[in-house]
Amino acid sequence: MEGRARVFEGNVQVQLRNSRGMIIGNGFATASAGAPEWGTFNASVAYTLAGGTQGGTLEVFSTSPRDGRVENSVSIPVVLMGSTAP
């Protein structure tokens, strides 16, 4: 995925959740600039999913440098492709 972010030190966190809301992949990226500027970022998230295609959610966010809480969260519905091998 790619996007733009205006976050502390350009640190972007990514989580991928399956249709049941369980985290099945995560990753991070560093944007080309940190706040207060907007920066661009690219990230990939590897995941394993048993079964066929299902809905999921991609969550992109930053964490507070003060207390670690989630900030600037965006949730995007996605279609996940699972393994079709027996």
* Run of H or E including 70: strand 70-80
Report whether 27 contacts 66 (CB < 8 A). no
Would you say residue 51 has pLDDT above 90?
no
Condensed to tens digits (0 to 9), the pLDDT of residues 6-41 reads: 999 999 999 999 999 999 999 999 999 999 999 999
Instruction: Find all residues with CB under 8 Å of 18, minimum gap 6, and list them.
Output: 24, 49, 54, 56, 80
- Note down the domain range covering 27: 2-80
Does residue 57 belong to any structural domain of this protein?
A: yes
Does residue 18 belong to any structural domain of this protein?
A: yes
pLDDT at 29: 96
Domain count, the chain: 1
Does residue 85 belong to any structural domain of this protein?
A: no
Q: What CATH number does the domain containing 41 carry?
A: 2.60.40.2550
Does residue 61 belong to any structural domain of this protein?
A: yes
